[in-house]
Structure formats: structure tokens, C-alpha cells
Amino acid sequence: MAITFPISLASFFDGLRVRSRVFSLGEAVEVSETGGGEVLTADYGPRLWGGSIEIVRGEASILAQAMAMAEVLREAGGSFYIYDKAQPFPAADLTGEILGATVPTLSAIAANRKQISLAGLPAGYVVSAGDKLSFSYDGGRRALHKVIVGGTATALGALASIEVRPHVRPDATLDVAVSLAKPACKAVLLPGSYQDGSRDPGLSGTPSFSWVQTLR
């Protein structure tokens, strides 16, 4: 079967046992200073997620299979989906059992593009500050957001307003499915960052790589 991009969670990232990770939202701010000593800041582009992954050391043959896909991702054009393995579900639903098969939707975006509303949640479902959520927009691009101010859904599953970062993209649309379970973004490996790690006979090293979100 031919490999298609972005590589799905099930085909790559789900199968990795992560030893340590950095998963953070980058900055896109430039700073200047006036003659009067005032420091000015301005946004110059979209804020992108990025980080690094170190894989758990294990049996060499098993890990080699899991990491084979990384060789494809080291080529130009390779991309994959990634989520924060330290936080795959909301804080108030650590196993995703409450959410279950429920698929909430994006029901409103405020004019400031920082507040959003959700619909279709389980009754009384809690979305907490620090949780992440993702959804598709603009023909398949993937947005990933961190909740800054959370809330609790009504008995009808509506969550009137939560605040997120980064700001919602201008071309996001309503009524799209929102992922609270394994909320993922599309990413690429940073060139030169992949390392196999040292090895002992029969055991793998500790492979590692750095990555950054791509909006294309």
C-alpha cells in the first residue's frame, strides 16, 4: 500500500512509546524599542506548535518496525499527525470514557477569534484550562488549540464560551467536528534532528527527533 501524507496517528505516532517529550506553542512576536525606551511588540505570523520526542528504549526488532516510518518522514514532503501523549484526554476525563463516541462540534466563533462555543458534548461535560482540542478547516488543514478559560456543558451538551490559544484562523468554519480525544496537529520532522541513539546487542537505542506544526 502506498504511503499517503499526512501519516495517520494509527500508522505512526500511536505506536510510539514516548520516554520524554516537549510539546509547546511557539511565539511569533517581534520586539522593538522607541527612542523613549518604550518596548513595542507585534505579531508577525501564526503561532505554531513544536517540540521534541524521545522514544522508550526496548527490543531492537520491535522498535525498528515502529520507527521505520520515520525514514519516510525525513524526506521532503513527509508529514504526520501528532498529539501530546502526556495529555491525550481532557483533565476531567482522563481516559476519555465520559466522552466515549460523542463527537462535539464547533458552534460559534467570537469576533475576537479567542472565544469559541461547542455543541454536542455529554451533559455536564467539563473542559478545563490546559486541555487541548483540534478541528479541520480550509479543505483539510488542522488547527490545534489550548484551552485558556474552560467551562461546563449544559444538560443539552452546549458549552457557551471557552477561550483558546492560538487565535482561531480566519478561514475556520462552524459545525465541524472537534476532537477532544487525542487532539492532533499536522507536523513535519525538523531536518537534522532525527537520531537513532546508541545501541547494545539486542536492544534499541533511544531514537529522538524534533518536529514543528505545518499548516499546509
114 C-beta neighbours (distance < 10 Å), count: 18
Give the C-alpha distances (Å, rounded to integers) separating 188 from 96, 153, 215.
Answer: 27, 35, 10
State the DSSP code for 85: T
Q: What are 34-75's pLDDT values in tens digits?
A: 878 888 877 778 999 999 999 887 766 667 777 888 889 999
Distance separating alpha carbons of residues 165 and 163, to the nearest angstrom: 7
Judged by DSSP in three states, 131 sits in coil
Mean pLDDT on 192-208? 73
> How much is the pLDDT for 20?
84
State the DSSP code for 90: -
Distance separating alpha carbons of residues 85 and 78, to the nearest angstrom: 21
169 C-beta neighbours (distance < 10 Å), count: 15
> How much is the pLDDT for 206?
80
Q: Over the chain, what is the mean pLDDT?
A: 91
Would you place residue 202 in the very low, low, confident or very high pLDDT band (cuts 50, 70, 90)? low
Q: What are 160-174's pLDDT values in tens digits?
A: 999 999 999 999 999
Beta strands in 13-166 (DSSP E): 18-25, 29-33, 39-43, 49-55, 80-82, 105-109, 115-119, 126-127, 132-137, 141-149, 151-152, 159-165
- The three cell numbers locating residue 186: 499536522
Distance separating alpha carbons of residues 171 and 173, to the nearest angstrom: 6
Q: What are 71-84's pLDDT values in tens digits?
A: 899 999 999 999 99
Question: Going from the N-terminus, what domains does the chain have, and what CATH number goes with each?
Answer: 1-83+185-216 (3.30.200), 86-183 (2.40.30)
Q: What are 100-159's pLDDT values in tens digits?
A: 999 999 999 999 999 999 999 999 999 999 999 999 999 889 999 999 999 999 999 999
For residues 57 and 205, is the Cβ–Cβ distance under 8 A? yes
Judged by DSSP in three states, 64 sits in helix
Distance separating alpha carbons of residues 207 and 209, to the nearest angstrom: 7
For residues 182 and 143, is the Cβ–Cβ distance under 8 A? no
